């Protein structure tokens, strides 16, 4: 009887962890590639990253440049900021964006989209159905 119980406990404790790891693997944001040219910073794989995030580039650039306190624009697949920034600066802000606008706070999966419902904006999760009110960027 004891053996059966401990076996069951072990089986239960393994299930949520496996499910979490699987969803983590599905969402791999590439490392930020950034070079400084003169007084500007070029985020070279901007397009690749917003493809993974499944968010419009103009929204992401608005958030990131706002947080960096500078002006930003999109040229080709690059995002360009006035001023010299480091990869850590951009990664920091990008993680803040992902936490606030991509990851569902209920189930922690990234399968979300932003929808306007009535007068408010919501992050709607297709994995668990949660609707989380957000502040528009
Ligand atoms: Zn969810």
CA distance 93 to 96: 5
Distance of CA 58 from the midpoint of ligand 1 (Å): 25
Distance of CA 74 from the midpoint of ligand 1 (Å): 30
For residue 42, what is the enclosing H or E element? strand 40-43
Residues 60-100: tens digit of each pLDDT: 999 999 999 999 999 999 999 999 999 999 999 999 999 99
Distance of CA 132 from the midpoint of ligand 1 (Å): 9
Dihedral sign, Cα of residue 41, residue 42, residue 47, residue 53: negative
Distance of CA 21 from the midpoint of ligand 1 (Å): 15
Distance of CA 70 from the midpoint of ligand 1 (Å): 33
Mean pLDDT of successive 10-residue stretches along the chain, which has 137 residues: 64 47 64 97 96 93 97 95 98 96 95 94 96 93
Q: Which residue has the tokens 């580039």?
A: 57
Contacts of residue 114, Cβ cutoff 8 Å, sequence gap at least 6? 55, 101, 121, 122, 123, 124, 134
Class of domain 22-105: alpha beta
């Amino acid at each position: 009887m004891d053996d059966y119980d401990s076996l069951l406990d072990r089986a239960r404790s393994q299930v949520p962890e496996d499910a979490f790891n699987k969803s983590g693997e599905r969402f791999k944001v590439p490392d930020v590639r950034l070079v400084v040219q003169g007084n500007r910073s070029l985020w070279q794989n901007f397009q690749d990253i917003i493809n993974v995030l499944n968010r419009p580039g103009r929204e992401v650039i608005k958030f990131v440049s706002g947080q960096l306190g500078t002006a930003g624009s999109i040229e080709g697949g690059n995002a360009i900021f006035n001023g010299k920034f480091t990869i850590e600066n951009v990664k920091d802000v990008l993680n803040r964006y992902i936490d606030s606008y991509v990851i569902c706070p209920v189930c922690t999966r990234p399968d979300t989209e932003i929808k306007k419902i009535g007068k408010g904006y919501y992050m709607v999760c297709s994995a668990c159905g949660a609707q989380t009110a957000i502040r528009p960027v």
